[in-house]
Structures are given as structure tokens and as C-alpha cells.
Chain A
């Protein structure tokens, strides 16, 4: 989101609060979100792809809804209500309206480049919907959900793996009559797909376990593509979102507490992201300066990167939460002073909280439960090790299928495991410090410093483009040549 996006969303929030009433609010959210999916999508250097990606986002979201929709045993296709149909028609109408802006001046288009011809868009939408409908009819119940999970993971893997993304980009370039040799993974910059994929996976998995509430298409789409959370989360939970969504019609939107809180969060977010983070970014560690700096200076760059990442990401989250509040949706918190935590477990409970929770719900808990049920049961240490490593590996891979993200994930997995073993063995002693406040404060402080540096050193893997560079930075940080 740029400052222009934020200014426009804030202005829309004012109009929405003043002019839109009752059920109109949910429809207004849908309309803004659908257009925002296109508006926020950055330019992609392959013809029409910056229109195709947002359209695919909408179709995948509709597909996700179809796969999660409860149905009777004797009904082969999802139960479509009149409202769902109305939602579908509104979405399709909005997509066509966006496509029709191809006839307007570039400044009046919400898309990064000229949309494709209307007939191509109609054909694409028809094919997409026919595919969703056909699959929903052809594949029954649990298998449909499994197939949808599989499809999302495969798509995710392709887009997050540089080699596969380059291959697909070359294919798309060739198809568009462009030079395939110029293909790069950047050609497949698909706005918000990581977040959208994880939201859909959450609904699919909760559908499998019977925990997902019945969501209308309007609720589902508003949940998946809620525009403030498109670019950088948070990853809300459907049942929590639904509560706010259902309360929208009767909610008091234009009230001083809501506007002070929402406006305050946006202001803090702007300060964090556009003043602090963007300033620190000028001397934060990156793939170029990692080769240029040495020793003490490298530590400075690493600290700068550490704080830049926090202010950037948490600033975005504040802005998203603030805009959400103005529109009547209270998105979950994503950060809670993570660099002041005195152990790695607390850090992960306060850094990108919604992603951590997602991984805990869908990786850590099921895996450790399954291991606990195994006969013979593995040792507690083995279960903890497997749980932490798998969870952090998935969180690493969520950022990209590269060695650096894998190592970063494992770095934290090992850290969490060691912390768990350590805290299990020292809990009684630590609890005994209750009566020794000075000593407890000292240990707390030491924990904060240690945790901060463990996390900061972990960012070396995260920030740098390849493992070799990261390794050389580690060597230089600790005095090596």
C-alpha cells in the first residue's frame, strides 16, 4: 500500500461511515475489496497478467467457498442461496466494470496496465466458473476439500519456487508473444497470494474438521479479500471475521472512539512504515552491502535491518488494522513488542502473531497430537523437536522456497526446541526467583538481549539472497575474514 492507497481508503471509510447503512455495508466492503484487488496489484511485465492475477484471486476465492460450502449428502453441488447468486453477479459485474476501464485514459483505470478485451475477460470468467462448478459436482465432499488443499499448495509452491516461477513466467511470456529469455520470478508478482492462500487453506482445513461456520459467499469473499489485509495481512480467522461481518449492519461505525482508534492506528502505522522503517532501510543489511561492509559496521547494518523489518511490517499491520476499524472490522493484532520478549517462544507469540497461530493450529498441534498417539510413542524431546522444526520450516517456506528461508525456519525451529528443553529443566529454579526481584530482572534482561540477538542473527538468512552470502556475513560478524 502506498500513501495514495491509504489516503483513498481513509476517504472511502469516511464516505462509508456517513453514507452507507445496514446490509449495504457488507456490499460496499465487497465492492471496494474487489476493485482494490486490481488496484493494489503491481505492474507485471507480461501482458494482461496484472489483470489475470486479481481475477484468479477472485476465482480461487469463489472456488474455496464452493469447496467449503456444506451440502446435503444427496445434493451434488453446493447449496446456492439467492444472496450467494447475487454476490456472484455483483463480483462478475465489478470485474467486467474494471475490464471496461480499458476504454478510459490510463489515469482513470484501477489496473496497473490496460485490461484485456471484455470478451477475453468474459471467456476467462466463464471458463473459471465452469471449472469450479464442474469440479464441485464431480468430486464429492472430503475429496473436494482435499483436492482444493492440494491445488492451493501446488500453486503456492510454483509461485514461491524461483526455478518453477521462472519456468512458468517464460511460458506465459511466450504465450503473450514476449521474449521468454527475459522471464524472472518477478514476472509472477501476485499481490497478496501468500495471505489469500493461507486464509483459504484455513477454511478448507476447518471444513475438514467441521469447525468452519457456514459462510455465505458474501461473507467468505469479504473474509478472503478484505482489502486492508490484502498486502501484508493479518491472517484473520473466518469465524472471528464473520462475527464482525454479521454485526456490521447494526454497528455504530461513525463514532468518535472508532475514528480515534482507527485514525490513531493509521497514524502510528504511517509513522512506523514511512518515516522510521523507510529511513532505517537506507542503511539496512541487503545483498549488496553485505559484501561491502565488515565487522562492527555489519552489526550496525544487521541491527538496522532488524528494526527496519519490525517497523515496516508492524507499521503495515497497524495501517491495515486502523483501516479495518474504520470500516467496522477489527482485524487481529499481529505484533506485540516482539523484540522485548525474553525467550523465543514469547517472541513467536508476538511476531507475525496471526501466521504463528496459523502454523500452530495447522502444523504444530496436529503433528504433535499425531506423534503422541503413535505406538510406540516417541520421546517428548523427539515430539517437540519434530513439532518445532516442521512448524518453522513451513513458516520459512511460506516466505519462499529457497535455502535461505529454509535455514531461517530451521534456525528458529532449533531455537524453539532448545528453549523448550531449557525452560523444562529450569522452570522450578526460575519460579524460585519470585522472591528475588533483582535477580529475576537480571535474568529477564539477559533473556531479552539473548533472544533479540538470536532473532537478529536469524534475519541474516532471511535478508540475504543466498546461503553463501549469509554464511560469509556470519563469518564477518564474528571477526572472520
Chain B
């Protein structure tokens, strides 16, 4: 076959010396490339290279997916990679008032198609400022419950010139133990450690720094994020072709309504009822988020949740929360907002129980629309108040 002449008909006959030289050179080159890679740490720069917003349409929510083959989407943790795929990395229009939404899977829109998420319904409202600028909402929710993860996303998102931040939170994102365990935080150790140091947060960065050893910085150590980056680019073609970024099953298990008698634990951190203090919850991360936002108005929203009327619902609101814990969280949150002058709105029980799907915070499209009706006036009030 003519196509293999380069291999079968060499200019000089192959010798063992040639074979050994090729293997040695290949090994040396491989080692050199790895050392160079570790020295340059180009993962963030590579992450910024993207087919999205160029060859294919940008994603309307951050990449996340547990079933890539059906969702045409996958979970990646490299923050530049995530943002490079998102429509927010497109230039801001002159008449655009850019609003970013931070939050968990509820904001991201778990079990909702891209056109029925909170940001999509808010955009459909066609909100405008008095000066004619259009409010354009960007979904920067991500299905992990940890405020630190939101804060890291917010810090990165500031380069895209947001004019407002709406940060939807729930108590499950607050326990201090969750903050460093969130995958996105653990897999961006240098960025997280720097954030913690920059804002003087009381978290032990030793575990994060242990992740930054030399091998972890080589191509070998970073083969997973590199492969994920490549796969995410390739899935971009399917996203563009189908508009699908999440596999939506026909059936799912409905959120739990009935609970065991005596089930009063709030996760593993709080197995028994106790008095919660400010130090038990990550209010310091919320404060850091406000520092990150600076002059950009930030609205904190206690997001709606499912309130059960089932068995033993007198001790638990839902699968996530025993009543003792959630009630204290709300009190603390209200007090902290007042003390720090944060803009805060508590929408915890505005949505009917039947508008929740598989978890206490995932809403149906109808539930999400209801939330938009409730939230939009608060956003406008804050902006009009600001402009006054």
C-alpha cells in the first residue's frame, strides 16, 4: 500500500541503534514536556481556549452532567474552562445590564431544560431599567451545595463585568465542613487557597496545598482535567446541534415527604438539636462574596424549599432539614443580613409543595416561574433603590 511507504521504505535501513534512539528521544521529550507543563501550569490558559461562543453556541449554564453520552455535557471543575463554554464570556452589549445568578442545582435547573430555568424565565420577563438597559440574566448556578464554590465562581465572574449579583442560598450550603469538600473547591486548590488567604477566612488550607505537589501539576497528574476539557469541547457540537445539556428522565423518584420519628439530624455535622451560632455556618464566605462584588449590588435570596406535610413533618421540613436547624438558620441569616447591611430576601416558603421534583430544592417549571414572579420585583426594587 502506497500509504505506508514512509514506514516500510525508510531512506536508511532500520537498526537497533535507530530504535533505541527513537525510544530514548521519545522518553526524554515526554519527560521534558511534562516538566515544562508543570512549570508553566497552562491548564487555566488551555481552559480559556474553547470552541464555544465561536464554532458552537455558548452554553446557557455551567457545564455539569453525570451522563455525558445522553446529556452532551459533563462535570468539569476547572473554572476558566467552565466560563469559556458559557454565554457570559461573550462581549457585553451596550444596552445590556448584566445580572449573574449564583446558587446550587436549583438555580442551575436540575431536571429542567435550558429554556425553563430561573435565568431563562427571568430573561423572558424582558425587564428593563429606566435608562433603557435590558436586564440580561446569566445562570452561574452549579449543582453543588457550598458557599465557597459560589464565591470562587463569583470571583472569576467579576471579569465579565456583572452589573448585579443575585445569590440564591439555602442552609445546606452553609455548614463549614462542606466548604472545602466541594469538588470544585478541592480540584481548584491553588485558587481556593488564595481566596481563603485573600479574604482572611478561617479555613485550614493545608489539605488544599497538599494537592498541589509536582506530580499533580504534570500532564500525567492533570490528564483528567485535560481529557475533560477536550470532551467538553467535542460535546459542544452536540449541544449546538440539539440544545440538550441535561438528560431528563421520564420518571424520577419524588422528594421524600415522610420521615422517621426522631429523625432530627442535620447532616453529619449536627446529629442532634443544638443552638447554632454564627461560627457554625459559613457567613464569613458570604461576607467575602460581598467584598468580591464590591460596588456591584448583590441580592441574597434564601431559596424556596419543599415543606412536607407528611409523616413526622412536625420535626422535619424535608429530607435536608430538621425544623430546629432550619428555623435557627433563617434567624441567623436575617440577623447577619441586618448586621452587615446585606440586601436579603427570604423566599423560603413561597412555592407550593407539589412544585418540587426530586429534591427539597429542585422545582418544576411552574415552581420556577412562580419564583420568578416573586423574585423579579425584589431585583427591580434593589436596582431602582440603588439608582435613586
Give the interface of A toward B (CB within 8 A).
256-257, 259-261, 264-265, 279-280, 282-283, 288-289, 292-294, 297-298, 300-301, 304, 333, 336-337
Contact = CB atoms under 8 A, between A and B. Distances in A.
23 contacts: A256-B15, A259-B19, A260-B7, A260-B19, A279-B230, A280-B234, A282-B231, A282-B235, A283-B234, A283-B235, A283-B238, A283-B241, A289-B238, A289-B242, A292-B244, A293-B238, A294-B241, A297-B237, A297-B241, A297-B242, A300-B241, A304-B237, A333-B1
B206 to A, nearest CB: 37
A300 B237 contact: yes
Given A256-B14, A283-B234, A265 B242 contact: no
A298 B241 contact: yes
A453 to B, nearest CB: 19
B8 interface: yes
Contacts of B369: none
B262 interface: no
Nearest to A304: B237
Given A257-B14, A260-B19, A283-B234, 20 more contacts: A256-B13, A256-B16, A256-B18, A257-B13, A259-B14, A261-B7, A261-B8, A265-B7, A282-B68, A282-B237, A283-B235, A283-B237, A283-B238, A288-B70, A289-B242, A292-B242, A293-B238, A298-B241, A336-B2, A336-B3
Nearest to B8: A261
Contacts of B72: 283
B240 A297 contact: yes
Interface in B229-271: 230-231, 234-235, 237-238, 240-242, 244
Interface in B12-35: 13-16, 18-19
Interface size class of B (residues with CB under 8 A): 20 to 34
Which of B18, B19, B238 counts the most chain A CB atoms within 10 A? B238
Contacts of B231: 279, 282
Nearest to A298: B241
Contact of A282 (B18, B234, B244): B234
A280 B230 CA distance: 11
A257 B7 CA distance: 9
B66 to A, nearest CB: 16
Contacts of B18: 256, 260
Contacts of A297: 237, 240-242
A260 B242 CA distance: 45
A284 to B, nearest CB: 10
A278 to B, nearest CB: 10
A282 B18 CA distance: 38
Contacts of A260: 7, 10, 14, 18-19
A379 B13 CA distance: 54
Nearest to B16: A256
Nearest to A291: B242
Nearest to B236: A283
A336 B4 CA distance: 9
Interface string B55-94: 0000000000000111010000000000000000000000
B234 A264 contact: no
Given A265-B7, A279-B234, A283-B234, A293 B242 contact: yes
B192 to A, nearest CB: 30
Contacts of A264: 7
A280 B19 CA distance: 32
Contacts of B10: 260
Contacts of B68: 282
Contacts of B14: 256-257, 259-260
Contacts of A289: 238, 241-242
Contacts of A283: 72, 234-235, 237-238, 241
Contacts of A288: 70
B20 to A, nearest CB: 10
Contacts of B237: 282-283, 297, 300-301, 304
Contacts of B4: 265
B1 A293 contact: no
A304 B234 CA distance: 11
A292 B241 contact: yes
Contacts of A265: 4, 7
- Lowest 6 A-B CB distances belong to which pairs? A297-B241, A256-B14, A292-B242, A283-B237, A293-B241, A282-B234
Nearest to B70: A288
A57 to B, nearest CB: 30
Contacts of A333: 1
A304 B3 CA distance: 23
B234 A301 contact: no
A288 B230 CA distance: 22
B86 to A, nearest CB: 19
A257 B13 CA distance: 7
Contacts of B19: 256, 259-260
Nearest to B234: A282
Nearest to A332: B1
Nearest to B232: A282
Contacts of A301: 237, 241
Nearest to A322: B7
A440 to B, nearest CB: 20
A292 B69 CA distance: 13
Contacts of B234: 279-280, 282-283
B22 to A, nearest CB: 8
Nearest to B238: A283
A255 B238 CA distance: 47
A293 B243 CA distance: 9
Contact of B3 (A279, A294, A337): A337
Nearest to B237: A283
Nearest to A263: B19
A126 B151 CA distance: 71
Nearest to B17: A256
A74 to B, nearest CB: 47
A300 B230 CA distance: 18
Interface in B358-374: none
Contacts of B16: 256
Contacts of A282: 68-69, 231, 234-235, 237-238
A448 to B, nearest CB: 16
A303 to B, nearest CB: 10
Most buried by A among B7, B19, B69: B7
A209 B4 CA distance: 35
Contacts of A304: 237
A265 B1 CA distance: 13
A280 B238 CA distance: 11
B135 to A, nearest CB: 31
Contacts of B241: 283, 289, 292-294, 297-298, 300-301
A279 B238 CA distance: 12
Nearest to A280: B234
